[in-house]
A and B are shown apart, each in its own frame.
Chain A
Amino acid sequence: MIDIAANPYKADFPLLAGRPDIAFLDSAATAQRPAVVLDAQKRFYETMNANPLRGLYSLSVEATDAIAQVRAQIATLIGATDERGRAQANEIVFTRNTSESLNLVAKAFAPTVLCPGDEVAITIMEHHSDLIPWQQACRAAGATLVYLYPTKTGELTDEEIAAKIGPKTKIVAATQVSNVLGCRLPVEKLGRAVHASGGYLVVDAAQSVPHMPVDVRELGADFLAFSAHKALGPMGVGVLWGRPELLDRSEPFLTGGEMIDSVTEQSAVWAPVPEKFEAGTQDAAGIFATGAALTYLTEQVGYDAVQAREQELVHYAMGRMVELPYIDILGSIYADRHHGVISFNVRGIHPHDVASILDMAGVCIRAGHHCAQPLLAWIGCENLACCRASLAFYNDASDVDRFIDGLTTVWSTFNG
C-alpha cells in the first residue's frame, strides 16, 4: 500500500518545496525539475563548458564525452541495445523536442517510402505534433492520411486495426499514451499490423517515458520520440530513436554545421548518423541535465515507485471526482487505464472558467484543446475544450484534496 499522504519527493523539487501554496497538476504539459537536474545544468556551464564536437582541446572533449554518455544512457533506457545488451548510442538523435523529432521522421524519412496512393495511418488521439507532420507528409507525397478511432473510452479494437491498416499503409504513427484520455494504446499490435505489409511504426512516447519503462524492441517500433522536459529534464531537449538502417537512408532534416564530413563549393558529404541530424550547436548543458533527470527518474525514484504512486494518486482523485455529480470524466471509468492523466468537464461551465477559478485556489490544471483538436471534435467536447488534471509521483493526497475543494468552489460559484 502506497502512502500518498506522505511525500518523500517534494523536497527534491525546489519549485514545489518553495511554493507550498500551489498544487501542480499539469505535469503532462511539463514536469517540475528536481534540484539534481538544475545542478547538472549549472555544473556543465561551470566545469565543462565548451562547444562539443568541434574543439581539439580537452575541455571540448569533456563536453563531447558528456553528451556521448547521455546518448548511451538513453539507448540503454529505451532498449536500443544489441543482442549482448550493449547500448547502441548512435541510434539516438538529439532534437529540441518531440515535435521536432516527429517532424524529422515525417520530413526526412517518410519521403523515402511514401508514394502517391499510399496511406499513413494515425489515431484520432494524436497530439498535433504527431498529426500535422503527417498531414504535410501525405500532401507532399500524394498519400492519404487515415485515422484509427477508438471506442469512447479510448480502446483501439482489433477490428478497427484490421480495417485501417492494410497493404497500402506505409507508416503508422501513434502515441503510446494519450495526452487527453490518459489511456495506453496497443502500439505493439499496430506495429505487427503495419510490419505485416512492410510498413513502419512511429511511436510518440512523450507521455509514456515519464511514467513507464519503454522498450523499442518490445514495442516493435521503427522510430520513437520523446521530450526531456516531460521527464523531469530541461526544456529544449528532445530525443529521436530510429532503426539505424532507416536513419541512414533518410536525408538530413536540417543542414549546416557539425552534420557534415566534408563540404565543397557545390556539394557536401553528410556525417554519419546521428550527427547527420544534429546541425548546429546542440544544447549540451540541457543534454547533460537530461542524463541527470533520467538517472533520478529511473534509479533514484524508479519506475516501479513512479507507477505505483501515480496509480494510487489517480485512483484517489477519480474516486473523489465521481462523488461530485457535476463532473464528467473523459475516457475510461477505470483509474488504472488513466496513466497520470484525468480529463474532465464541469457541467455547463467553460473549461477556462474552471481553470481560472482553480488558479485562484492555487491549483494548476490545463484547460483548452490540449493540442488535440481533432480528438475533442470527435468526442464532441463543447468549445473544443476540456479540463485536464495530470499527476506525477511528486504529487500527494493534499494536492488532490485541494483540487477537489477547488472543484466544489467552481460549482458553487456558478450554481449558488
Chain B
Amino acid sequence: MANIYSSTTFMEHNAHPDYKYEMDAPTHTHDGINPSCGDELTLQLRVEDGVIEEASFTGHGCAISQASADIMAELITGETVEEARRLSALFLAMIRGEELSEDDYEDLDEAAQLKDISHMPARVKCAELAWRTLDSILEAQ
C-alpha cells in the first residue's frame, strides 16, 4: 500500500493550508463533522453568477481531513457550480475505490493523490468530509 503520508503535496497542504481562513462575505456557509475522528469543518463559498469565486474552510481535524479540504478549495475555486458538483462526484467515487479514467484523474489534479486513502477504510470519512460538506451546499443551489 502506498503511503499517503509520504506524498509531499499532501503533507504540504496539511502543514500550510492556503485556503484555511474565515471569508469576509461568503454567500454560503456550511458545517461538516466526522464524529469518528472528531473532525469539525466549516466550509465557506462565495458564489457569483453560478461560479465559485472563492472557497475557504476553518476547523480542526486530522491531517487527511485538513489536506483534503485545502486541496478541494483550491480545485473548485474559479469553477462553475456544475463543474464543482462533477468533481466532487468523481472524488467521492475514487475515494470509495472506483477506478477513474485518465482524463478524470487529470481533472481532479492534486486531489487524485488522495486515491490511496481508498485502501484505508477507517480514514475514508476523513477524506470525504470537505467534499460532503460541499455537496450539501451545492445540492441546495
Contact = CB atoms under 8 A, between A and B. Distances in A.
A401 interface: no
A75 to B, nearest CB: 39
A382 interface: yes
B120 interface: yes
Interface string B22-65: 00000000000000111100000000000000000000111110
A384 B15 CA distance: 21
Nearest to A383: B38
Interface string A158-200: 0000000000000000000000000000000000000000000
A350 interface: yes
Nearest to A376: B38
A356 interface: yes
Interface residues of B, number: 19
A413 interface: yes
Contact of A368 (B3, B15, B36, B64): B36
B5 interface: yes
A383 B63 contact: no
Given A382-B60, A383-B61, A414-B63, A353 B5 contact: yes
B92 interface: no
Contacts of B60: 382-383
Contacts of A368: 36-38
Given A350-B63, A414-B63, A384 B1 contact: no
Contact of A350 (B1, B11, B15, B62): B62
Interface in A381-413: 382-385, 413
Nearest to B3: A360
Interface residues of A, number: 16
A349 interface: yes
Given A353-B64, A414-B63, A384 B5 contact: no
Given A368-B36, A383-B61, A352 B126 contact: yes
A357 interface: yes
Contact of B37 (A352, A357, A360, A414): A352
Given A350-B62, A352-B123, A383 B37 contact: yes
Contacts of A385: 37-38
Interface string A200-222: 00000000000000000000000
A369 interface: yes
28 contacts: A349-B63, A350-B37, A350-B62, A350-B63, A351-B62, A352-B37, A352-B62, A352-B122, A356-B5, A356-B122, A356-B123, A357-B5, A360-B3, A360-B5, A368-B36, A368-B37, A368-B38, A369-B38, A382-B60, A383-B38, A383-B60, A383-B61, A384-B38, A385-B38, A413-B5, A413-B6, A413-B11, A414-B11
Contacts of B15: 414
A371 to B, nearest CB: 12
A413 B6 CA distance: 7
